[in-house]
Amino acid sequence: MAPTSSTPAKPRAQKAAPKDAGTTLADDERTALDADIDRLEEGSRVWAALTLDQRARLLGRVRDAVGAVAQEWADAATMSKGLEPGHALSGEEWLGGPYAIIGLLDALRETLEALAKGRSPLDGVKLDTAPGGRLRAHTFPLNGTERFLLSGFTGEVWFEPGVTAVDARREAGLAQLTPTEPGGVGLVLGAGNVTSIPVADVLYELFAHNRVALLKVNPTQDALVPVFERALAPLIEPGFVRIVRGGAATGAFLTSHPRLVHVHITGSAATFDAIVWGASTGSATEGATRETPKLKVPITAELGGVSPIIVVPGQWSAADLKYQAEHVATMRLVNAGHNCIAGQVVIVSSDWPQRAEFLHRLHEAYAAAPERPVWYPRSDERLGDAASSYPDAAWSADHTRAIVEVKGGDDPAPVETIEYFAPILGVVEVAGTGQEFLDAAVAHANAKLTGTLGANVLIDPVTEAALGDGFERAIADLRYGDIAINTWTAFNFLTARLTWGGLPGATLADVSSGIGVVHNALLLDRVERSVARGPFRPFPRSVGKGVFTILPTPPWFVSSRTGAEVSAGLTRYLVDGKLPGLVATLTKAMQA
């Protein structure tokens, strides 16, 4: 988010810069990469000749290919993180891999089919107004399967102020409104933490921008390359996609290549600065003083941040306290915290009578969650940094995770400005109750926490109803591109018809959580944010108590005893649509 006169600049992420291997590519490596770009340039011309119907059918072929490798995909991803195939935590790899991609493929195909018939992708989607006169599209759920499997969950896309319903419908479709205009060859620098991200980013290049894509995978995902190649074979064969491996030298060669017209990166602000400015640090000052970017082509980016979890005080039952404590632990511990969507700072009220009990439950849930490898490169350094900054932190799981309760004499800056990308969870206090607390917590998150990617809010139905319009206004005041109410922003990430990305307004000099959005299967233009809402209580406690859901403990919760089986079963149901398998999966879900 770029600073304005009315909005103070948010703190800059204090991540270390990437380590450069200090090597150059051999001639044969350069030749091979040039040959890949030659093939993609040919593919770009073929892509521009395809009709929307042909592209929709192509998505169907990709879907079949993803379904065929789904088990291998989940197994390879699980092993890449130091676990055995079928491990109790492997459900995260099903949801964050083939499940997410199949949902995206289905949603994109429906968008293309609508455009091919001369309709807007927003036809039939409810539009109304959000606070501040913004236009809002209710994009989840849109079919019976979504309503049944994820009952109680909803999703909205909010447009930038000034966008009208006529504008939104007319502009929905992005580059697919002009499919014969080629977008050239783009470079996708793939994420290293979640396996669906590189594939989803390639799909967005093709369908949002008509750009064929050269995907350089992060070295942490080298083992997934054979899976990606088979999953994307229908796009690779005609020259729409190429996948390459490589380290810093490969990235440097490609980002300066004269025939690549665009770069998209999922990573850190330090890596972004190194690409754009040639910077050696993540310093905002250094980037801002540079007048001429090193990078000569446009760039989009998703760069993470420090995500708040705002706990609005209310009168919670013992079951509520336990469930929401497990919810917060989930936000930090899934994938060992190696997520840009991981919640990092819990904001609680110092005046909440149940504060101590909630924090006690949180410590219990955090320590009791299954142990797992902290596997992402340099995570040990980040854990060490947290231990140095907060010697009184509460460590658990053989000293691989910690809760930092920021006390009066502690410096909150490290936990509020460093995206640890590791299992470090901070707790800070803000005074007040009701609207006073919520407004203060929103102001604290906006001003003190690095980034504008994702924010989470937990609030019981009685308190939300009492706040009324004040609650919706506070949500609008949160300066984040994705907001989750009584769910986790991972839901936004996995929901194809929502958008994923930082709040608009970032610049090359002050990139914050990134530039642009991804996923966005309705191909909507001029989007400001996406907002997801979930049930405060699971089934059966959801009956007659606010938002109803048939879901018991969701399969993505770290406390779910059947998360692996349910996540695999839901993915297989998306693949084959077989009802007996779905019944068995739902039975397992009830045992969570």
pLDDT tens profile 164-184: 999 999 999 999 999 999 999
pLDDT at 33 over 80: yes
pLDDT band at 23 (very low <50, low <70, confident <90, very high): low
Q: Is there a domain that residue 64 lies in?
A: no
In the predicted model, what is the mean pLDDT of residues 305-332? 98
Question: By the 8 A CB rule, do 352 and 316 touch?
Answer: no
In the predicted model, what is the mean pLDDT of residues 373-391? 97
pLDDT at 286 over 90: no
Do 377 and 442 lie in a common domain? yes
Structure tokens that stand for 284 in this block: 């905002």
pLDDT at 505 over 60: yes
End-to-end C-alpha distance for the chain, whole angstroms = 40
pLDDT at 281 over 70: no
Structure tokens that stand for 47 in this block: 């892509």
pLDDT band at 515 (very low <50, low <70, confident <90, very high): very high
pLDDT at 314 over 70: yes
Do 585 and 552 lie in a common domain? no
Number of domains in the chain: 2
Q: Which pLDDT value is given to residue 583? A: 94
pLDDT band at 1 (very low <50, low <70, confident <90, very high): very low
In the predicted model, what is the mean pLDDT of residues 564-582? 95
Q: String of b and e for 317-346 (b: at least 16 CB within 10 Å)?
A: eeebbbbbbbbbbbbbbbbbbbbbbbbbbb
Boundaries of domain holding 538: 307-560
Q: String of b and e for 25-39 (b: at least 16 CB within 10 Å)?
A: beeeeeeebeebbeb
Do 392 and 447 lie in a common domain? yes
Do 527 and 589 lie in a common domain? no
In the predicted model, what is the mean pLDDT of residues 417-429? 98
Which segment of 157-171, 286-300, 319-333 scores lowest on mean pLDDT?
286-300
Do 543 and 576 lie in a common domain? no
Q: Please report, for the domain that includes residue 349, its CATH number.
A: 3.40.309.10
Q: Is there a domain that residue 214 lies in?
A: no
Q: Which pLDDT value is given to residue 592? A: 82
Q: Which pLDDT value is given to residue 7? A: 36
Q: Is there a domain that residue 19 lies in?
A: no
Q: Enumerate long-range contacts of 46-50, CB under 8 Å, 24 or more apart.
A: 46/238, 46/239, 46/240, 47/182, 47/206, 47/210, 47/212, 47/238, 47/240, 48/179, 48/180, 48/181, 48/182, 48/210, 49/180, 50/179
Do 466 and 405 lie in a common domain? yes
pLDDT band at 546 (very low <50, low <70, confident <90, very high): confident
Locate tokens 């013992």: which residue? 318
Do 353 and 427 lie in a common domain? yes
Structure confidence by residue, pLDDT tens digits, 446-493: 999 999 999 999 999 999 999 999 999 999 999 999 999 999 999 999
Residues in CB range of 509: below 8 A, 6 or more apart: 284, 287, 288, 290
Give strand pairing partners of 185: 212
**More confident site: 14 or 43:** 43
Q: Is 260 exposed, middle or buried (0-12, 13-18, 19+ CB in 10 A)?
A: buried
Do 573 and 543 lie in a common domain? no
Q: Which pLDDT value is given to residue 62? A: 98
Neighbours of 583 (CB within 10 A): 12
| Gap between the Cα atoms of 534 and 130, Å rounded | 18
pLDDT band at 289 (very low <50, low <70, confident <90, very high): low
Q: Which pLDDT value is given to residue 288? A: 44
Do 493 and 588 lie in a common domain? no
Distances (CA, A) of 220 to 217, 334, 410, 424, 493: 8, 17, 35, 21, 21
Structure tokens that stand for 173 in this block: 């479709």
Q: Which pLDDT value is given to residue 279? A: 59
**pTM of this structure:** 0.94
Question: By the 8 A CB rule, do 373 and 383 touch?
Answer: no
Do 340 and 473 lie in a common domain? yes
Q: Is there a domain that residue 471 lies in?
A: yes
Q: What is the mean pLDDT of the chain?
A: 94
Q: Is there a domain that residue 532 lies in?
A: yes
pLDDT at 496 over 60: yes
